[in-house]
Structure 1
Amino acid sequence: MLQNEQTVSDRIQQKLDELTRAERQLALSILENYPASGLGPLSALAKDANVSVPTVARMVQKLGYKGYPDFQAELREELRAKVKDPIAKHDSWADTVPSEHLLNRFTEAVIENIRLTLGQIDPVAFDKACELVADQTHQLFIVGGRITHTLAEYFFLHMQVIRPNLTHVQSTSNTWPHYLLNAKKGDVFVIFDVRRYENNTLKLAEMAHARGAQIILFTDQWRSPVHQLAHICLSCRIIVPSAWDSVATPMLLLETMISSVQNLKWDETKQRMEALEDMFDQTKLFRKFT
């Protein structure tokens, strides 16, 4: 497999919206344990995904393969190419511990997440998202969930320095309707939603969309239901050897966005930073070494 060719995962991601409910269930099952999930017998894959054997056959054809054997051959070729990759063959990232140590396995998973994510991100869409966030003529709303509220708070803190006219929406359903009162057509909502997609977040997105707001969604490789309403969807891979998903890749995109927005509005940002530093000096928030 050539390096610039699409992977099976790439094809699945591009076709997700065109699949039937059962086919989509199958696709998400494959991505859950990719690529090992597709290396066994067809009947085993169907059973694991709780779909019929014909569903598997139909989906692999929709992905552009003649049949399941061709689909599996592509997966095996991906594995062979990965073994030949000098980075994949590297003994360890932390050379003071064995390659099978969690430090190395976790790092390898994060680097693979970053590689796959950057391979799928549309730079034009990303730049457009940054321009929307930087546009101070519209209100910016930032929304996180049970876990992703940490990303939302991090983003909000930096945007406070860069621009005015923004709101951090608390995700609890008994408070966020108050924030929607001020939302109007053209306003921008940056929403963070990864599995296990939250009902409150979807309802908020539906109501914001109904008011004419534009939605920028940070989500995972399976994509939150909010993506159907999003103007721009930034999907990140999040699987690591842990009971918890990783926010390393979403954080990478988020910090890149912060840098881009800062540069787009640097003159205003610089003035705001200078004013903020003066306030810090007056309040003696930070210790000065002279």
Structure 2
Amino acid sequence: MAPTTRLVKQMIQDSMDDLTRSERQLASVLLQDYPMAGLQSITRLATAAGVSTPTVIRMARKLGFEGFPALQDALRAELAAQIKKPISKRDDWGSDDGARHLLSRFAEAVSENMRHTLDRIDPALFDTVARVLADTRRTVYVVGGRITRSNADYLFNHLQIIRPHVTQLGNSTNVWPQYLLDMDDRTVLVIFDIRRYEADLERLAKLASERGATVVLFTDQWGSPIGRVADFTFHGLVEAPSSWDSTIALMLIAEALIAEVQNMRWEEARERIEELEAMFSSTRLFRSQGGLKPDGCEA
């Protein structure tokens, strides 16, 4: 049985239009330091938000909880899920008693992940990020973590073909300050970071943001701490019947962004692709096979 995917912060965001002014004030405090703000005592939370304790209780019930302690239990469960070790993740899904093949169960889980991910994406956010990535007046840097490095590499490889001034940060964190030297308010830093979140990536994001860079974050449903400094954040559901999280939902967003950036810059992108193909041909790095381009791209 798959774990629930609905988070307290999603409940708050979905209910925002139905909250009173005081409750929206409380919601703002909860979301600004999520989930830690909700784990303090009801008195301290009410004081921090400038509302009464009955307001905290009333809002918890509006969200569907019996009271504030039940809301806190949900937040603690989310925290536990964020730091879960690979072996524990697999145990949560069970064996399904062998009734269905793993391939079917995995495909079902990934399909659900993609459906819920798409349901939660704001098309306006997607369009804005696509425009930012298509703007060649900006330099783009891409980086991923231990598990998401391949996602970052995929995005980098395609953006580099479509537009100039795209750089992938090296795996060694020791050289990252050298990249930071060139980051400013014309820089876009794209970061992939899912649970168990990486402190080095968080420090990189903070330093880049302080230098004026626009930070685009790809993360899981719980949200990397980088979200506190990110200008744009995409949340993808990652749980699957495995010891490891699935990044397919995040790849769906990344591939769609690649397609949209290419559409926005089609004339320039086509020229770059044609020039690149000419280089391949002249250097004979790739053998022509019936008009197919490298990596399966059609002519």
Q: TM-score, normalised by structure 2?
A: 0.69
Mark the CA change 1:157 to 1:255 in structure 2 (over 3 Å): closer, same or farther: same
Q: Take 1:193 and 1:60, find their aligned partners in 2: how far apart are those partners?
A: 35
1:188 aligns with 2:188: yes
Q: Take 1:178 and 1:268, find their aligned partners in 2: how far apart are those partners?
A: 30
Mark the CA change 1:265 to 1:59 in structure 2 (over 3 Å): closer, same or farther: farther
Q: Take 1:66 and 1:240, find their aligned partners in 2: how far apart are those partners?
A: 27
In the alignment, what sits opposite 1:62?
A: 60
Q: Which amino acid aligns with 1:68?
A: E
Q: Take 1:270 and 1:67, find their aligned partners in 2: how far apart are those partners?
A: 54
In the alignment, what sits opposite 1:116?
A: 116
- Where does 1:80-99 land on structure 2 (aligned, <5 Å)? none
Mark the CA change 1:136 to 1:198 in structure 2 (over 3 Å): closer, same or farther: same
Q: Take 2:58 and 2:285, find their aligned partners in 1: how far apart are those partners?
A: 59
Q: Which amino acid aligns with 1:174?
A: N
Worse overlay, 280-289 or 134-143: 280-289
TM-fit CA distance, 1:187: 1.1
Q: Take 2:223 and 2:58, find their aligned partners in 1: how far apart are those partners?
A: 20
- Where does 1:100-249 land on structure 2 (aligned, <5 Å)? 100-249=100-249
Mark the CA change 1:20 to 1:250 in structure 2 (over 3 Å): closer, same or farther: closer
Q: Which amino acid aligns with 1:17?
A: L
Q: Is the 8 A contact 2:151 2:251 kept in 1?
A: yes
Any stretches of 5+ residues in structure 1 without a counterpart?
Answer: 1-6, 26-57, 73-97
Q: Take 1:169 and 1:63, find their aligned partners in 2: how far apart are those partners?
A: 46
Q: Which amino acid aligns with 1:213?
A: A
Q: Is the 8 A contact 1:216 1:232 kept in 2?
A: yes
Mark the CA change 1:192 to 1:288 in structure 2 (over 3 Å): closer, same or farther: same
SS where residue 174 of structure 2 aligns?
A: coil
Mark the CA change 1:277 to 1:59 in structure 2 (over 3 Å): closer, same or farther: farther
In the alignment, what sits opposite 2:272?
A: 272
Deviations 1:171-218 (A, max 9, x none): 432111111111111311111111111011000000000000001100
Q: Take 1:136 and 1:159, find their aligned partners in 2: how far apart are those partners?
A: 11
Q: Which amino acid aligns with 2:155?
A: F
Q: Is the 8 A contact 1:13 1:221 kept in 2?
A: no
Deviations 1:239-284 (A, max 9, x none): 0010000011001000000000000000000000000001111122
Q: TM-score, normalised by structure 1?
A: 0.72
1:17 aligns with 2:15: no
Q: Is the 8 A contact 2:12 2:63 kept in 1?
A: no
Mark the CA change 1:281 to 1:185 in structure 2 (over 3 Å): closer, same or farther: same
Q: Is the 8 A contact 2:220 2:237 kept in 1?
A: yes
Q: Take 1:155 and 1:226, find their aligned partners in 2: how far apart are those partners?
A: 19
TM-fit CA distance, 1:289: 4.2
Q: Take 1:63 and 1:238, find their aligned partners in 2: how far apart are those partners?
A: 29
Q: Take 1:12 and 1:147, find their aligned partners in 2: how far apart are those partners?
A: 30
Q: Is the 8 A contact 2:185 2:213 kept in 1?
A: yes
Q: Take 2:246 and 2:279, find their aligned partners in 1: how far apart are those partners?
A: 36
TM-fit CA distance, 1:100: 1.8
Any stretches of 5+ residues in structure 2 without a counterpart?
Answer: 1-5, 15-26, 41-55, 72-97, 291-299
SS where residue 175 of structure 1 aligns?
A: helix
In the alignment, what sits opposite 2:92?
A: none
Q: Percent identity?
A: 42
Q: Take 1:225 and 1:8, find their aligned partners in 2: how far apart are those partners?
A: 16
Aligned residue pairs total 228
Q: Is the 8 A contact 1:173 1:200 kept in 2?
A: yes
1:251 aligns with 2:266: no
- What do you get for the CA RMSD once the two structures are aligned? 2.7
